[in-house]
A and B are shown apart, each in its own frame.
Chain A
């Protein structure tokens, strides 16, 4: 009796198990998880290559357009294009198109007949558009090796820098074509340099720290008259305005304790420009290597030291993305020049959450110079608020 019961129990259980198995199989088949590639890598130890790069250790001769091109002996180099544009109806936009070059090693191992893809140069580019009317901030990042024609820069025969289909090319004397397109927005501009290349700092040598070599070579084109087409959504708009180009190369610009910088590019309606940068220290204190340049309408420049100007932060903005708190309104005074300027972002949210997290945004300027009211537009860059730039630049 008990035997019989047991047997049926076993048979019953076995049947249920088989049915469960079938059910399970069907279920898992239907709910097959999406392939996940949660891979992690353990690398062979590498030796720091920084020591083998050239360093910015003193004055050098600049020759343009060749020096608009790359300086691969240095580890880091960037080409920064920023600008404020508007349509005839007065709709305003800010844009940023930046190319970063970073060398992994001074020279890659490579045979002469080896692959064209072998390189130690990595290019990174950011393309951002601030739609002031809608307060929408768009940005995209691209990264590529600086090889196989995918990304690179040249000083000759003409200057050009590109990463895939984002590029700036010299198309004539002091004339450049800027082109960048991505999903939802794009820009095709012609830039006309009306002032020529400006050497920042001490004849283009910009000291950033007390150690020799903690410096960069820094040149700019501070007044690029810009016109062309801007695509946003379904619309293509005719725009014009002013752009600013910074070109900087170095091997280790930041010293110990420096985590980032604030950078101001101000284009005033009296035909002058002002560049200021302050270095962010870990402890929040003022760095003695803060500096600036005044570029007069005729192109003459005067260098400003850290004691020459004062920047008061009047407002702050906390990023909902990174959580970092950024300054969002400044009062700048340069007593010796009789300059007092109020600077306000055209919109608060201009943070890029990319390979590095930073704020780069269009600003408007109101103030006076020697008692005469001036106004203008410009760009401000704030780094080191969300993460330290130490080791990255």
Chain B
């Protein structure tokens, strides 16, 4: 016995006849397998496409950042954004640092270069080579060739690719747009990179000598930052250097700085990933359902196999192998489909990130290979995991004739009760998870999934109750068929419940996300109503959809102040300033009514008191900022000022949806006194009653003397623009919602097909007993319709619960926004419509097939 030949071992582990058995099943139920493959493929595709989008966005960010930071380990930045260039000179003359490079940088664009934002990077070629090396390093620095670059005004370098694409050759002149002004420059040369990654970074760069960059951006005498490479093994070096720096400038580690920027998008990306996972979960429901079905169907066969000596593990392997086949084929298909879908999602996600967080100058980043691998592997593993319960069930079949279905269904009755209980416990635990405070939102999202699955587990119990309750009604409407249909469903609850649960989850996601977006939109509308009180707004063009931080030409500010026919002109200065918690968005205002024109959080003081405190140096925090820094009214926020760190009391917390990083509001006089910055980034004009804002806009557009291109728009169009950005932001969420629904639709379609076809024999008997074709149609449609209706009805509470979680847990945690719940019946109507129409559509094919089948043939089948 011990001397088993090797061939025999393999056969024992997996007899060829069994392989053939599995294969034959897969082939003979090709359409069934096809639907399973499609379900898993769509789930994987959605996940891959979102992961591609997230990975691309992250890579675009890091490439954009790397192109400008190079190998810097630390940066010296100014707390007010403006740094005197003597900080650098003094640092150099002190001899305390060897590797330091001054940087002047700005976002520019150019029609000739395609109009996309580009990073103007002003560097000192003599100091820069250890950092970026774009101009060759050390002894290779060719100062002769650099002569025009160094000595001529407007000399810039572009990547060879960008120059060629734009039809520019060295020596050509073109214009750059900077903060609404046009600058004349010329191409002093082109840069080529050996490796693809550097080439991509270069394509987003306009490289200039620091003198040129200062001239182009009107930053004479100023630097944006100083890049440093400090020894890694000497942490004391940074501390010592910081001590030597003048007040108002700070030394920061690059990693921490970039980390904090990247972190801003983390919540957004995590939520997208979670949403994309839902599509996969729905797909898995389908796999589970189909696999269970196929096992149940073959119980007799497995019983026979077992009595013929096939072991439990062989049966298990057989079922798992089928799942593996479906998983691998589906996942490979899904990865391919994900790449196609990714073309759209990548654009949508980067658009949103560019709108809300930061401007990336690197666009094409290539296909992140890791996303594809991740998607494929998760697809296969998830399919296998889902197939385990049915495979176990198959393995447990006793080696005798098949157990009777009725016995199974009897068991199901008990199980539904237990499942319902488990569902309640799961949902309850999910809610408990929300109480866990965490840095990221993973417990929150896990809790959400638990609540949704908990509700799904409850659906069997709910379905039984609902169908029992509805029987008298359908009986009255459709006679005996009307009583038969719900009873049939209840009797086959072991499979119908899974199908209904899958459809219910998909519809609930649709309802929940729709309610969330509706509530968000509603909240933003109310907020805009309250906050945008001026009649006309003036600002300079900016690359972000957020509050513009671009200064308006001071001459414009003066002219507007003296403009006839205005009731008031409120000036606003928005900028980012340094704080111990990283950069904080600050807005300084002259609006005397700001205390009345914000929605304050409960617990804030009266408007007059808030105004009084604001004028005396307190600040108002937006809700996301207060949440992020865990501050309440009465606390203080610490900011770096040119005189060092300073605490500002928080007078109130206001609702704000402009950014998820949040912002703080300070009185303009206080700001100017402390930071010495007189720039204005936005002007809000109030008109006397009866004025025509559009006329004022036209007058300003033609009458203001400036070389700066300005955006002057009436309240109405600013509001429209904001809502447009809002809708753009949610485009990806809406798209995901649709994709999840499609996956569910396919799931329901296949489940119902299976169910109906399985009942062929029963139908045949009914036909033999005189059931007409029309009656058959009625029966099938009634059954599927009832399932759809059940799913739709169950989806309503689940959807509402989901939207409440999304609004009060996920959004608040991820972005710090409190939204007002706004329930619209439209969402429910749409949910029901999707559920019932999917179900009815799924009934068409089986009804058609069964009605055409002869009774005898139907009975004979199998």
Decide whether A and B assemble into one complex.
yes
C-alpha gap A101/B329 in the complex (Å)? 70
Select which of B141, B188, B202 is within 8 A of A39 by beta carbon: B202
Q: What's the minimum C-beta distance from A205 to chain B, rounded to whole angstroms?
A: 27
Pair A44/B189 contact, Cβ less than 8 Å: yes
Pair A149/B93 contact, Cβ less than 8 Å: yes
Chain A CB within 8 A of B124 CB: yes
C-alpha gap A148/B122 in the complex (Å)? 15
Binary CB contact string for chain B from 144 to 156 against chain A (1 if under 8 A, 0 otherwise): 1111111111000
Binary CB contact string for chain B from 119 to 148 against chain A (1 if under 8 A, 0 otherwise): 000001011000011111001011111111
Chain A, 85-123, CB within 8 A of any chain B CB: 102, 104-105, 108-111, 113-120, 122
C-alpha gap A114/B146 in the complex (Å)? 19
C-alpha gap A63/B151 in the complex (Å)? 31
Pair A120/B145 contact, Cβ less than 8 Å: no
Chain A CB within 8 A of B440 CB: no
C-alpha gap A41/B211 in the complex (Å)? 20
Binary CB contact string for chain B from 775 to 806 against chain A (1 if under 8 A, 0 otherwise): 00000000000000000000000000000000
Question: Quick one: given A25-B369, A104-B144, A150-B92, are A43 and B189 in contact (CB under 8 Å)?
Answer: yes
Question: Quick one: given A42-B170, A44-B188, A104-B144, are A115 and B211 in contact (CB under 8 Å)?
Answer: yes
Chain B CB within 8 A of A171 CB: no
C-alpha gap A38/B214 in the complex (Å)? 27
Chain B: CB-nearest residue to A19: B377
C-alpha gap A58/B191 in the complex (Å)? 44
Q: How large is the interface on B (under 10, 10 to 19, 20 to 34, 35 or more residues)?
A: 35 or more
C-alpha gap A114/B144 in the complex (Å)? 23
Q: How many residue pairs, one in A and one in B, have C-beta atoms under 8 Å apart?
A: 188
Chain A CB within 8 A of B376 CB: yes
Question: Quick one: given A115-B211, A355-B139, are A36 and B188 in contact (CB under 8 Å)?
Answer: no
Chain B CB within 8 A of A306 CB: no
Pair B373/A38 contact, Cβ less than 8 Å: no
Pair B147/A115 contact, Cβ less than 8 Å: no
Chain B: CB-nearest residue to A102: B143
Chain A CB within 8 A of B469 CB: no
Chain B CB within 8 A of A40 CB: yes
Pair A114/B211 contact, Cβ less than 8 Å: yes
List chain B residues, Cβ under 8 A from A38: 193-195, 198
Select which of A4, A11, A44, A46 is within 8 A of B144 by beta carbon: A46
Select which of A40, A115, A149 is within 8 A of B214 by beta carbon: A115
Pair A36/B152 contact, Cβ less than 8 Å: no
List chain A residues, Cβ under 8 A from B189: 41-44
Binary CB contact string for chain A from 210 to 223 against chain B (1 if under 8 A, 0 otherwise): 00000000000000
Chain A CB within 8 A of B616 CB: no
Pair B369/A45 contact, Cβ less than 8 Å: no
Pair B210/A117 contact, Cβ less than 8 Å: yes
Pair B126/A145 contact, Cβ less than 8 Å: yes
Question: Quick one: given A15-B324, A36-B198, A38-B198, are A108 and B133 in contact (CB under 8 Å)?
Answer: no
Chain A, 1-32, CB within 8 A of any chain B CB: 1, 3-4, 7-8, 11, 14-15, 18, 21-22, 25, 29
Pair A22/B95 contact, Cβ less than 8 Å: no
C-alpha gap A36/B211 in the complex (Å)? 27
C-alpha gap A29/B221 in the complex (Å)? 43
Pair A143/B214 contact, Cβ less than 8 Å: no
List chain A residues, Cβ under 8 A from B191: 39-41
Pair B126/A39 contact, Cβ less than 8 Å: no
Q: What's the minimum C-beta distance from A177 to chain B, rounded to whole angstroms?
A: 14
C-alpha gap A266/B85 in the complex (Å)? 44
Q: What's the minimum C-beta distance from A375 to chain B, rounded to whole angstroms?
A: 37
Select which of A4, A29, A35, A109 is within 8 A of B370 by beta carbon: A29
Pair B170/A11 contact, Cβ less than 8 Å: no
Q: What's the minimum C-beta distance from B62 to chain A, rounded to whole angstroms?
A: 11
Binary CB contact string for chain A from 138 to 150 against chain B (1 if under 8 A, 0 otherwise): 0000011101111
List chain A residues, Cβ under 8 A from B133: 37, 39
Pair B151/A120 contact, Cβ less than 8 Å: yes
Pair A120/B150 contact, Cβ less than 8 Å: yes
Binary CB contact string for chain B from 68 to 94 against chain A (1 if under 8 A, 0 otherwise): 001100000000000001101100111
Q: What's the minimum C-beta distance from A52 to chain B, rounded to whole angstroms?
A: 12
Chain B CB within 8 A of A164 CB: yes
Chain B CB within 8 A of A319 CB: no
Pair A117/B332 contact, Cβ less than 8 Å: no
C-alpha gap A105/B144 in the complex (Å)? 10
Pair A35/B147 contact, Cβ less than 8 Å: no
Chain A: CB-nearest residue to B137: A37
List chain A residues, Cβ under 8 A from B192: 39-42
Chain A CB within 8 A of B354 CB: no
C-alpha gap A36/B92 in the complex (Å)? 27
Pair B151/A109 contact, Cβ less than 8 Å: yes
Main secondary structure of the interface of B (DSSP, over half): helix
C-alpha gap A122/B16 in the complex (Å)? 81
Chain A CB within 8 A of B19 CB: yes
Chain A CB within 8 A of B451 CB: no
C-alpha gap A154/B145 in the complex (Å)? 27
Pair B373/A25 contact, Cβ less than 8 Å: yes
C-alpha gap A94/B98 in the complex (Å)? 24
Pair B211/A42 contact, Cβ less than 8 Å: no
Among A18, A38, A41, A111, chain B packs the most CB atoms within 10 A around the CB of: A41
Pair B93/A115 contact, Cβ less than 8 Å: no
Chain B: CB-nearest residue to A391: B144
Among A3, A117, A147, A183, chain B packs the most CB atoms within 10 A around the CB of: A117
Chain A CB within 8 A of B108 CB: no
Question: Quick one: given A21-B373, A41-B190, are A113 and B220 in contact (CB under 8 Å)?
Answer: yes
C-alpha gap A41/B325 in the complex (Å)? 53
Pair B209/A45 contact, Cβ less than 8 Å: no
Select which of A3, A15, A21, A44 is within 8 A of B170 by beta carbon: A44
List chain B residues, Cβ under 8 A from A37: 70, 132-134, 193, 198
Pair B134/A39 contact, Cβ less than 8 Å: yes
Chain A CB within 8 A of B197 CB: yes
C-alpha gap A196/B50 in the complex (Å)? 78
List chain B residues, Cβ under 8 A from A355: 139
Select which of B124, B143, B171, B369 is within 8 A of A44 by beta carbon: B171
List chain B residues, Cβ under 8 A from A110: 153, 211
Chain A CB within 8 A of B20 CB: yes
Chain B, 167-189, CB within 8 A of any chain A CB: 170-171, 186-189
Chain B CB within 8 A of A262 CB: no
C-alpha gap A149/B92 in the complex (Å)? 9
C-alpha gap A181/B189 in the complex (Å)? 36
Q: What's the minimum C-beta distance from A392 to chain B, rounded to whole angstroms?
A: 10
List chain B residues, Cβ under 8 A from A21: 369, 372-373, 376
List chain A residues, Cβ under 8 A from B339: none
List chain B residues, Cβ under 8 A from A312: none
Chain B: CB-nearest residue to A166: B95
Chain B CB within 8 A of A49 CB: yes
List chain A residues, Cβ under 8 A from B186: 44
Chain A: CB-nearest residue to B85: A148
List chain A residues, Cβ under 8 A from B380: 15, 18
C-alpha gap A45/B148 in the complex (Å)? 9
Chain A: CB-nearest residue to B86: A149
Chain B, 363-391, CB within 8 A of any chain A CB: 369-370, 372-373, 376-377, 380
Which 4 pairs across A and B sit closest by C-beta, in order of nearness? Answer: A165-B95, A38-B194, A44-B170, A115-B214
- The 30 listed contacts between A and B (C-beta, < 8 Å) are A4-B19, A4-B23, A15-B324, A18-B331, A18-B373, A35-B66, A38-B193, A38-B195, A39-B134, A39-B191, A40-B136, A41-B142, A41-B145, A43-B145, A43-B146, A44-B148, A44-B170, A44-B171, A45-B171, A49-B147, A114-B220, A115-B214, A116-B211, A118-B212, A144-B127, A145-B150, A149-B89, A149-B93, A165-B93, A181-B95
| Known pairs A44-B189, A46-B148, A115-B212 / 6 extra A-B pairs, C-beta < 8 Å | A4-B19, A15-B380, A41-B135, A43-B148, A148-B85, A149-B86
Chain B residues at the A interface, C-beta cutoff of 8 Å: 16, 19-20, 23, 66, 70-71, 85-86, 88-89, 92-95, 98, 124, 126-127, 132-136, 139, 141-153, 157, 160, 170-171, 186-195, 197-198, 202, 209-212, 214-215, 220-221, 324-325, 328-329, 331-332, 369-370, 372-373, 376-377, 380
